[in-house]
Structure 1
Amino acid sequence: MVKSVLFICLGNICRSPMAHAVFEDLIKQKGVQDEWEVDSAAIGSWHVGNQPDRRALRVLKEKGITFSHPVRQVQSKDFKHYDYIFGMDNENIRSLNSMAPKGSSAKIELLGSYDPEKLLIIRDPYYDDDDKGFYDCYNQCLRSCRGFLEAN
């Protein structure tokens, strides 16, 4: 049976697409890509149809990951379709819990809860002046996605 995971952040241009790309790369490396359905989405609609932030794409490319993903907004059907929906911070989790329709089956969690370094919150690097926050985000997503895969 295929397992499914949806990564969420505020705009789906920094953190959630990085987690999406990292997770897809990890499952390909492990040869289990046929066992997973992976996607990412936004809480808000500001960037729908656009590609992720250029800085996120640049960091991914430096790490050997080519990624393209049109931004989409989370929909009510996602809460029944996906097994896991991961938010990046407590605000994402609050928003997801309030958006979840009755009868939702998705497990809503912080992606950082799987970080072996116990950094629960994946900080939004969008307003940073440099790329450091995007590297931090990548590394935290990598640790957390590995931790989640090991647990599942």
Structure 2
Amino acid sequence: MTYRVCFVCTGNICRSPMAESVFRARVAAAGLDGLVEVDSAGTDGWHEGEGADPRAETVLRESGYAAGHAARRFDPSWFARLDLVVALDSGHLRSLRRLAPTKRDADKVRLLRSYDPAAGDDLDVPDPYYGDAGGFEECLEMVETASTGLLAAVRTDLEGQAA
């Protein structure tokens, strides 16, 4: 059985494609790439069909991650096939939970930084779009840190499905 994860930010050109790339690499390194499918989308369709922000792609490549992406908008029908929807900030969390057709679907939505015990109460990954390259580096660092806990949670879910 495939476990499906979708990362969601606003336009699907900065934070969520970065999270998708990092988590896909973590999944592959853990030997789970045949069991876990990783995707991303945006809450809005402003950038549909566009590539990721060049600054995001640069930071990803410089850190050894794959780049290459086409933005798309999250569709509420996807809840039926997804196991986990990972929001990058609290605004996305609220939007996605409002879009969810059922309470069970709304419960699939989690904040990425909730998987980082050191994040404390600050669970938003700030949008780097209006800043400089440093904001993209900070975003990547937050995504990498939270991805460790997220991978552990996904492993636990996979073990629960196998039992």
* Same fold (TM > 0.5): yes
TM-score range, shorter-chain basis?
Answer: over 0.9
Q: 1:143 maps to what in 2?
A: 145
Q: 1:2 maps to what in 2?
A: 2
How far apart, in 2, do the equivalents of 1:66 and 1:79 lie? 26
Q: Which amino acid aligns with 1:116?
A: P
1:9-53 Cα shifts (integer Å, max 9, x gaps): 000000000000000011111121111011000100100000110
Pairwise CA distance, 1:112: 0.7
How is 1:82-97 mapped onto 2 (pairs within 5 angstroms)? 82-97=82-97
* Structure 1 alignment gaps of length 5 or more: none
* Matched position secondary structure for 1:31: coil
**Alignment: residue pair count:** 151
1:81-122 Cα shifts (integer Å, max 9, x gaps): 110001111110111011111365361010110013214110
How far apart, in 2, do the equivalents of 1:102 and 1:26 lie? 30
* Matched position secondary structure for 1:39: strand
TM-score normalised to structure 2 length: 0.88
Q: 2:160 maps to what in 1?
A: none
Q: Which amino acid aligns with 2:148?
A: R
CA contact (8 A) 2:90 2:123 kept: no
Q: 1:54 maps to what in 2?
A: 54
Q: 1:120 maps to what in 2?
A: 123
* Structure 2 alignment gaps of length 5 or more: 155-163
How far apart, in 2, do the equivalents of 1:123 and 1:82 lie? 25
Q: Which amino acid aligns with 1:141?
A: V
**Percent identical across equivalent pairs?**
40
* Matched position secondary structure for 2:28: helix
Pairwise CA distance, 1:151: 2.4
1:55-103 Cα shifts (integer Å, max 9, x gaps): 0000000011122121110001111111000111111011101111136
Q: Which amino acid aligns with 1:73?
A: R
CA contact (8 A) 1:83 1:107 kept: yes
CA contact (8 A) 1:11 1:43 kept: yes
How far apart, in 1, do the equivalents of 2:102 and 2:36 lie? 25
CA contact (8 A) 1:5 1:36 kept: yes
How far apart, in 2, do the equivalents of 1:91 and 1:76 lie? 16
How far apart, in 1, do the equivalents of 2:11 and 2:58 lie? 18
Which one has the bigger helix percentage?
2
